[in-house]
Amino acid sequence: QVQLVQSGAEVKKPGASVKVSCKASGYTFTGYYMHWVRQAPGQGLEWMGWINPNSGGTNYAQKFQGRVTMTRDTSISTAYMELSRLRSDDTAVYYCARVAEVVVVTSPFDYWGQGTLVTVSS
């Protein structure tokens, strides 16, 4: 069965960076685009960007360009999202989410990780 298992909660100081991992299993990792979505406490869902696990190609939401880097390690079927220059308003649960259709980026998200809480506090 498809599973996306994310790394554990993080506490960071303002200005630091955080790297969240998302380990995929139960399907061909390189066949499906992976997206990252975040949710601040009590707020809605905010799309951050995607990575093509096959090519490593990425596309980031304009809001995060220059601060976010999405990478992957195909040998261990794991995607990563690194966010730099953290601020207090980056405190959120960060989710990885797989698209539903193989080799298609324009597709809804059918499997989600369990979420990783990142707290930014001095």
Name the site residues for another protein (rule: CB under 8 A).
Answer: 35, 37, 44-47, 50, 59, 61-62, 95, 97, 100, 105-110, 112-115
Side chain identity, residue 14: P
Q: How far is the CB of 25 from another protein (least distance, A)?
A: 16
Instruction: Compare residues 49 and 78 and give the one whose CB is closer to another protein.
Output: 49
Asked whether the beta carbons of 36 and 15 are under 8 A apart, the reply is: no
Which two three-digit tokens encode residue 6?
A: 């994310």
Q: How far is the CB of 113 from another protein (least distance, A)?
A: 7
Instruction: Compare residues 84 and 107 and give the one whose CB is closer to another protein.
Output: 107
Instruction: Compare residues 9 and 16 and give the one whose CB is closer to another protein.
Output: 9
Cα end-to-end distance, the chain, whole Å? 40
* Residues sharing a CB contact under 8 Å with residue 92, sequence separation 6 or more, in sequence order: 38, 39, 40, 41, 43, 46, 117, 118
- 93 CA to centre of own chain: 10
Q: How far is the CB of 2 from another protein (least distance, A)?
A: 12
Instruction: Compare residues 8 and 108 and give the one whose CB is closer to another protein.
Output: 108
Place of tokens 């596309």: 59
Q: How far is the CB of 96 from another protein (least distance, A)?
A: 10
